[in-house]
Amino acid sequence: MDYRMEHDSLGNHKVPVDAYYGVQTLRALENFDISGIPISRFDRMIQALAEVKKAACLANMELDLLPDSIGEAIVQACRDVRSGMLDSQFVVDVVQGGAGTSVNMNANEVICNRALEIAGHAKGEYHFIHPLNHVNLSQSTNDVYPTAFRIALVRYIDELIRAIRELREGLDAKGTEFARVIKMARTQLQDAVPITLGAEFAAWGVTVGEDIQRLEEMRLLLCEVNMGATAVGTGINSVVGYSDIVVTRLAGITGLPIRRAENLIEATSDAGAYVMLSGMLKRISVKISKICNDLRLLSSGPFTGLREINLPAVQPGSSIMPGKVNPVIPELVNQVAYQVIGNDMTVTMAAESGQLQLNVFLPIIAFNLFQGLEMLSRAFVTLRRRCIDGITANPERCLQLVKGSLGVVTALAPVLGYEEAASLVKQAQESGKDVCQIVRESGVANADEICSLLDPEMMLAPRARNNK
């Protein structure tokens, strides 16, 4: 392999001649061989870095801090990075020390060397365009990395919101389809009172959908950035007016309601927004996992379980039991939920452990949040398309379980009183007779009226008020 020689404050180092990254990226490659996952795996972060660098370049040009000839080449290089053309050059491990410095340097070097190409120079000829003196002008890792991180999070949140909406639409459609299927509700895994299968699915739709507003609120919070803070929030090495200009430029480039944080020192050190988002993802995960547990339980059997619904068969379920089909899609989503719930602890500890004016653990926070957002988005889409849409009901089985349940006696409590209704349940259990038969055999005058109250369809809503 051919090499070019580059140097930094630690000395000289060989860099592959065709690489757009440089010596500092190469040192990070050597130091941080941890997850095996390059930062380019999360393409939204690369796009956001390009947007931040472009905004900074335009602000520096507007303030006459950067010659137009250099600035225009950097802007074009940022466009190329944003397009995904150079994703393969973002090679730094997503898990790293240095508070994201290696990611920022990876961006500086790739953009610089692409700008050198655009300007007609060779890679590594930094006396024409320099990764720090020009591409990183008026910036620090400590405002570039968190700003790009927040922009990327907003984009991933938008994908999750779309996935949640899709899943809710599927659940709502099943709510309508199963609106007339009467079944038994259960509390503590014991018979409760009649309900419709459609109402059960509709309730899941509400459970899923109510998180959309919370996520939209979260994305607005994340649009508050510390760009212009430079090292710790004082704006050292920038000039008066730069912070306002770069934030305005960034809002225009991204199309997001980007705004500058009220206190740049606070915004540089605090990771509270990430803890909030992680908590939201945990909440979403807990709720969708519960729904998947319910789906697996309601479809259990097919002959020895509840079997109220049928999940679509997507693959054979056993290497030893012929014909067995497992609820693999809900199982998959359960596991995604467990991963995200575990990630929340990592985010919590990393946010709490940042000292003084900077949280150095943003890379592990980023990794866990990016992973959680991506996995949940894909899980929601998979659950809708590979499971929910293909669910069918077993109305006869549902009604059979209702008629065989003593939970319907609940409807008699307002008429007969709790104690007498409980006595009927006990008699039915001991004799094997149904409640209506016991009522008629008791000889009460209003047996027909009492038995009419046991119609499951009459138990699906509040009863009419008796004004007598």
Burial of residue 154 (CB within 10 Å: 0-12, 13-18, 19+) is: buried
Rg (CA), the chain: 31
Distance (Å, rounded) from C-alpha 170 to C-alpha 380?
11
Residue whose C-alpha is closest to residue 207's, from 176, 256, 164, 271: 164
Residue of 261, 221, 246 lying closest to 52 (CA atoms): 246
Q: Which residues are catalytic?
A: 318
CA dist., res. 264 & res. 202, Å (int):
45
Q: How far is CA 178 from CA 189, 209, 436, in A?
A: 22, 19, 28
Q: Which element (helix H / strand E) includes 309?
A: strand 309-310
Tally of CA atoms within 13 A in the half-sphere of 317 that contains its CB: 13
Backbone angles phi, psi at 349, to 5 degrees: -65, -40
Instruction: Report how far residue 308's alpha carbon sits from residue 329's, in angstroms, rounded to the nearest whole number.
Output: 18
